[in-house]
Chain A
C-alpha cells in the first residue's frame, strides 16, 4: 500500500530564508508525486508534480522539488520565503491504475513565515 510521510507538522522560517518541506513516500511501483498547497478554508492548488523524466521539478511561485528514488523522497524547496507562502502544504502519491489514479496524501505541513 502506498503511504506518504511528511516530517514536521509545522515549519517556521523567516522571510527571505530557505524553505524546506520534507516528504517521504512508499510505493510498490514507480510513483507519480505531487505537492499541493492549501490556504485557509480553500481547496488544494497544485504546486508541482513528478511523473517521469527530469527528477528536479519546477513549479509555481518559485517552488521546486527533487525526486530521489534511492531515498524515496520528494522534498519541496524554495530559495527565499515570502509572507504569501504561509499556508499548509501536502505531499501526495498516486499509482497509475486501470480505473483512476487516487491520491494518497500526507498529513500536511503548516508553513509559517516570520517577518
Chain B
C-alpha cells in the first residue's frame, strides 16, 4: 500500500483568508481522521469519517472549520477566516474497520502558518 498523503505540506496565509487541505488515505481504508497538533503538544482529534459520513466532531472544530469526504475516498479540511491561533500541523490518518486492532496510519501533515 502507498501511504497516506497530504497536500500541501506547508501553507502560509494571511489572517482572514480561507485555506483548504487535502488528504488521500490508504486505498480501501474506510475510516479517515483529522487531528491538529500545536507546537509542543500531542495531536488532538478534530473529526472522523466512516466512508463518506462524518460521524464525530470535536468541540475544537469551530464553525469556521468544515471537512468533507464526498465519495468516501479523499477528504478536505477547510478553514474559513483563518486566525493566528489556527497555526498548527494538521494531520490526517486512515484505518480499516473489521479489525479489532484498528491501527491508524498517519500522513506527513500540513503545516499551516497564519500571519
Residue ranges of A at the interface with B (Cβ–Cβ < 8 Å): 4, 9, 32, 34, 36, 41-46, 49, 51-52, 90, 92, 94, 96, 99-108
Distance in Å: Cβ of B32 to nearest Cβ of chain A:
10
Given contact pairs A32-B101, A34-B103, A36-B106, a sample of 6 additional A-B residue pairs in the complex whose CB atoms are under 8 Å apart: A9-B40, A32-B102, A46-B103, A51-B101, A102-B33, A108-B40
Stretch at the interface among B12-20, B42-50, B61-69, B71-79: B42-50
B1-34 to A contact mask, C-beta < 8 Å, 1/0: 0001010000000000000000000000001010
Where chain B touches its partner, the secondary structure class is strand
Q: Is the CB of B45 within 8 A of A104?
A: yes
The count of A-to-B residue pairs whose CB atoms sit within 8 angstroms is 69
- Tell me which of B4, B40, B43 contacts A103 (CB under 8 A): B43
> Once bound together, how far apart are the Cα atoms of A108 and B42, in whole Å?
6
Using known A-B contacts A32-B101, A46-B103, determine if residue A41 contacts B111 with beta carbons closer than 8 Å.
Answer: yes
Q: Contacts of A108 on B, CB cut-off 8 Å?
A: 40-42
Distance in Å: Cβ of A94 to nearest Cβ of chain B:
8
Q: Contacts of A100 on B, CB cut-off 8 Å?
A: 31, 33, 48, 50, 55-56
- Per CB-CB distance, the 5 closest pairs between chain A and chain B, nearest first, are A105-B42, A43-B106, A51-B101, A44-B106, A99-B55
CB-based nearest B residue for A9: B40
Using known A-B contacts A36-B106, A44-B106, A102-B48, determine if residue A96 contacts B100 with beta carbons closer than 8 Å.
Answer: yes
Could you list 5 examples of A-B contacts with CB < 8 Å? Answer: A9-B40, A42-B109, A52-B100, A99-B55, A103-B45
- Tell me which of B42, B50, B56 contacts A92 (CB under 8 A): B42
CB-based nearest A residue for B92: A43
- Is B84 part of the binding interface, using a Cβ–Cβ cutoff of 8 Å? no
Q: Contacts of B93 on A, CB cut-off 8 Å?
A: 44
> Once bound together, how far apart are the Cα atoms of A4 and B44, in whole Å?
12
CB-based nearest A residue for B44: A105
Distance in Å: Cβ of A110 to nearest Cβ of chain B:
9
- Tell me which of A4, A49, A104, A107 contacts B103 (CB under 8 A): A49
- Tell me which of B4, B6, B40, B45 contacts A102 (CB under 8 A): B45
